[in-house]
Amino acid sequence: MQRQLLNTLTKTLRQGQTQMRLFSVSSLQREIFKVQSTEDFDKKVKNSQTPVIVDFFATWCNPCKLLTPRIENIVGEQAGSIKLAKVDIDEHSELALDYDVAAVPVLVVMQNGKELQRMVGLQDEDKIRAWVAAAVKQAKQ
Amino acid sequence: MSLFKLLRARSLVPHRQLGIVAKSKYDFDLIVLGGGSGGLACAKEAVDHGARVLCFDYVKPTPVGTKWGVGGTCVNVGCIPKKLMHQASLLGEAVHEAVAYGWNVNDQNIKPDWQKLVKSVQNHIKSVNWVTRVDLRDRKVEYVNSKGAFFDDHTIEFVPKCGKRYIVTSEYIVVAVGGRPRYPDIPGAKEFGITSDDIFSYDKEPGRTLVVGAGYVGLECACFLKGLGYDPTVMVRSIVLRGFDRQMSNLLAAMMLERDINFLHTCIPDSVERQTDGRLLVKYHNTTTQAESSDVFDTVLWAIGRKGLIEDLNLQAAGVKTQNDKIVVDASEATNVPNIFAVGDIIHGRPELTPVAILAGRLLARRLFAGSEERMDYSDVATTVFTPLEYACVGMSEEQAIETHGVDNIEVLHGYYKPTEFFIPQKSVRYCYLKAVAEINGDQKILGLHYMGPVAGEVIQGFAAALKSGLTLKTLRNTVGIHPTTAEEFTRLTITKRSGRDPTPASCCS
């Protein structure tokens, strides 16, 4: 119900504007979050039926700094059909290594504990949007 | 000794390794203590030859709290950040030179953004830390971020983050824990002074800096600080660049003086205290005149030498022999205990250089696991001091050659030169100098080469291989130089010191 309301409001506000962010903060926090621990990852990513995009990033990586806002935007547009979990690879090195992260940034789509697909490196917004849309579609099957 | 839980390291081995069945009575074939240049090279080479390897790396924070990731001194607080800051300072000079070459840049009052430089340097270092970890994972080297200490000659004891004590056994153990900067035993040294461990991530501008120590660390730091616009003073206890060729060392000091870097010769510090305005008051005295002085600085950087990190290893439990704070090894890096070896800065009496540690580590791993008999050759190791005019050398200093061969049996050829690029911006060529130390007889084998000038490391590297191949003066003279370069000056050496002729060139090519 809350979702429908938001969607209506978003559509209305979108008219005449090129870019729009969801302004309901609490809902956004559930969809986009920074992983705090391995337990947090297990709970919110591995055990999630909703597909989750895991954004493996590093604070010292410039392309990561460019990618994160782009993917946040795009996940926001998906309005709940896919979530975003951000993992700082220095804070959670073992986790990153377990997922074979070498170069960053890496986006990994997970659903029910399984990796569906991944994208390595910074891409432009259209490419990311298409990739996310495809991931959402694949997850629904 | 209190009782503690003894858990086999198997419980710490991640799930992906559980398939491996222990082939021997030991948990591992090789444990390496230290994830720096020597340790990592040894560990990676060993796995290439089928060994099961565990590598420990741990960084004890400095007194002001600085710490860093895996990779050792070179990557984090040594060669890499040093070269980057050296480059930063050279680029500052280049901006001024660019004006002479016609670039419309405003080179008045240019100032570096120290925070931005530090951030860029640290970002690079962190990316190298990560690549190192990925490499260890890819090569299947087990890695633990904790200190390892000897429990006995085949056993290492450690306490990882979870707080539980573990022991792990290995057939061979290689100690590659390296060293850390020394602090003087004077009031205020640790509370108010920093070292090379801290400067590359220093969160404030260094400002007016006192660099205590005139080894290459101190001189390089003073030079890049000057190049970045700060005001360094170098306090020298006795001589500059101990162990290096005297003439070249004095030339280097003169070059720094020409660049307005202050020197306090034959002085030692007595105390450091913080004034009410936050600046540091350093009291020192001159050991020649006995005069006592003091001066105020923003930063005090200790560069008085490095000590080996034997203190937390509990070497007594294995019976490993040490000398001062280093481990004693023979020509095959073996300690007095048959299965324990050491490589890198921790070993006594060998050059403390990354490439030395890397090659020694690799050769050791090959001897242990690939049946090789090849030993490390520690002689004729080329090295470079990265000051604005760099100094690089390979082989003997003039004094060493005189001592080993006798002054009548050697010939020293030398000359000042003028790099082509220096003319237009009118850069000082006063200290662009090189010399070759050779035997006087026969084809005149080259014993040592010394070069001061731009990109000295690049110039000397090839000559190091030539020297190792038995380079003679005859061959050098018959080598056609590449023009215009500074390296070609080695092929143009004709004036001997013995002749007394003026080594300053009048013109360029003839």
DSSP string, B46-75: HHHTT--EEEE---PPPTT-----TTHHHH
* For testing contact with chain A, the best of B12, B76, B134, B143 (most A CBs within 10 A): B134
* C-beta separation of B192 from B360 below 8 A: no
Q: Do A97 and B133 touch (CB under 8 A)?
A: yes
Domain-embedded: residue A102: yes
Q: Which residues contact B375 (CB under 8 A, 6 or more apart)?
A: B331, B332, B363, B367
Distance CA A52, CA B80 (A): 38
Domain-embedded: residue A80: yes
* C-beta separation of B187 from B272 below 8 A: yes
Q: Looking at the DSSP assignment, which residues form a beta bridge with residue A141?
A: none
CA distance A38 to chain B (A): 14
Which residues of chain B make contact with A59, given a CB cutoff of 8 A? Answer: 126
Token pair belonging to B77: 């607080």
Q: Do A61 and B123 touch (CB under 8 A)?
A: yes
Domain-embedded: residue A5: no
Model pLDDT for residues A29-76, shown as the tens digit of each residue: 678 999 999 999 999 999 988 999 999 999 999 999 999 999 999 999
* B213 annotated to bind ligand: yes
Residue A3 pLDDT class (50, 70, 90 cuts): low
Distance CA B487, CA B394 (A): 14
Q: Do A90 and B122 touch (CB under 8 A)?
A: no
Q: What's the CATH number where A115 sits?
A: 3.40.30.10
Task: State which H helix or E strand residue B392 sits in.
Answer: strand B390-395
Q: What is the pLDDT of residue B10?
A: 44
* C-beta separation of B211 from B224 below 8 A: no
- The phi and psi torsions of A19 (rounded to 5 degrees) equal -135, 140
Which residues of chain A make contact with B134, given a CB cutoff of 8 A? Answer: 97, 101-102
* C-beta separation of B422 from B293 below 8 A: no
Domain ranges of chain B: 3-58+145-180+307-369, 189-304, 383-495
Q: What is the pLDDT of residue B441?
A: 95
Q: Is the pLDDT of residue A5 over 80?
A: no
CA distance B126 to chain A (A): 7
CATH number of B3-58+145-180+307-369, picked from 3.90.245.10, 3.40.720.10, 3.50.50.60, 3.20.20.70: 3.50.50.60
Quote the Cα angle for B30-B32-B36, to 5°. Answer: 145
Q: What is the pLDDT of residue B107?
A: 86
Query: Does residue A39 have an active-site annotation?
Result: no
By Cβ distance, the residue of B123, B130, B138 closest to A89 is B130
Q: Answer yes or no: is the ipTM higher than 0.85.
A: no
* B214 annotated to bind ligand: yes
Q: What is the pLDDT of residue B171?
A: 97
Q: HEC states along B445-483?
A: EEEEEEEEECCHHHHHHHHHHHHHCCCEHHHHHCCCCCC
Domain-embedded: residue A1: no
Q: What is the pLDDT of residue B18?
A: 38
Which residues of chain B make contact with A104, given a CB cutoff of 8 A? Answer: 130
By Cβ distance, the residue of A90, A97, A104 closest to B137 is A97
User: Would you give per-residue pLDDT tens digits along chain B (510 residues)?
Assistant: 222 233 444 444 443 343 344 457 899 999 999 999 999 999 999 999 999 999 999 999 999 999 999 999 999 999 999 999 999 999 999 999 999 999 999 988 888 999 999 999 999 999 999 999 999 999 999 999 999 999 999 999 999 888 899 999 999 999 999 999 999 999 999 999 999 999 999 999 999 999 999 999 999 999 999 999 999 999 999 999 999 999 999 999 999 999 999 999 999 999 999 999 999 999 999 999 999 999 999 999 999 999 999 999 999 999 999 999 999 999 999 999 999 999 999 999 999 999 999 999 999 999 999 999 999 999 999 999 999 999 999 999 999 999 999 999 999 999 999 999 999 999 999 999 999 999 999 999 999 999 999 999 999 999 999 999 999 999 999 999 999 999 999 999 999 999 999 999 765 554
* C-beta separation of B391 from B456 below 8 A: yes
One-letter amino acid for residue B200 of the chain: F
Q: What is the pLDDT of residue B360?
A: 98
Nearest CA in chain B to A100: B134
Task: State which H helix or E strand residue B29 sits in.
Answer: strand B28-33
Which residues of chain A make contact with B69, given a CB cutoff of 8 A? Answer: 90
* B183 annotated to bind ligand: no
> Diameter of chain A by CA atoms?
46
Size of interface A-B (CB pairs under 8 A): 26
* Local structure of B337: helix, strand or coil: coil
Q: Looking at the DSSP assignment, which residues form a beta bridge with residue B167?
A: B8, B157
Which residues of chain A make contact with B127, given a CB cutoff of 8 A? Answer: 58, 60-61
Model pLDDT for residues A101-135, shown as the tens digit of each residue: 999 999 999 998 999 999 999 999 999 999 999 99
Distance CA B472, CA A41 (A): 65
Q: Quick one: fold of B383-495?
A: Enolase-like; domain 1 (3.30.390)
Class of domain B189-304: alpha beta
Residues in A lying within 8 Å of B, measured between beta carbons = 58-62, 89-90, 93-94, 97, 101-102, 104
pTM: 0.89
Q: Is the pLDDT of residue A17 over 80?
A: no
By Cβ distance, the residue of B122, B134, B137 closest to A60 is B122
**Is-same-fold flag (B189-304; B383-495)?**
no
Interhelix angle B37-48/B114-138, nearest 10 degrees: 20
* C-beta separation of B396 from B447 below 8 A: yes
CA distance B144 to chain A (A): 11
By Cβ distance, the residue of B127, B133, B134 closest to A61 is B127
Q: Which residues contact B233 (CB under 8 A, 6 or more apart)?
A: B208, B209, B210, B211, B222, B261, B262, B263, B264, B295, B297
Distance CA B96, CA B425 (A): 8
By Cβ distance, the residue of A59, A62, A102 closest to B134 is A102
Token pair belonging to B37: 């240049």
Q: What is the pLDDT of residue A95?
A: 95
Among B446, B471, B335, B454, residue whose Cα is nearest residue B386: B454
* For testing contact with chain A, the best of B68, B130, B140 (most A CBs within 10 A): B130
Q: Which residues contact A94 (CB under 8 A, 6 or more apart)?
A: A38, B14
Domain that holds residue A59: 31-140
* DSSP code for A44: I
Q: Name the domain count of chain A.
A: 1
One-letter amino acid for residue B239 of the chain: I
* B135 annotated to bind ligand: no
Q: Do B122 and A59 touch (CB under 8 A)?
A: no
Nearest CA in chain B to A62: B123
Q: Alpha-carbon torsion B120, B121, B123, B128, what sign?
A: positive
CA distance A106 to chain B (A): 14
* For testing contact with chain B, the best of A93, A98, A99, A120 (most B CBs within 10 A): A93
Nearest CA in chain A to B69: A90
Query: Does residue B49 have an active-site annotation?
Result: no
Classify residue B430 as exposed, middle or buried by CB count within 10 Å of its CB (0-12, 13-18, 19+): middle
First CA to last CA distance, chain B: 78
Among B395, B182, B127, residue whose Cα is nearest residue B301: B182
Domain-embedded: residue A22: no
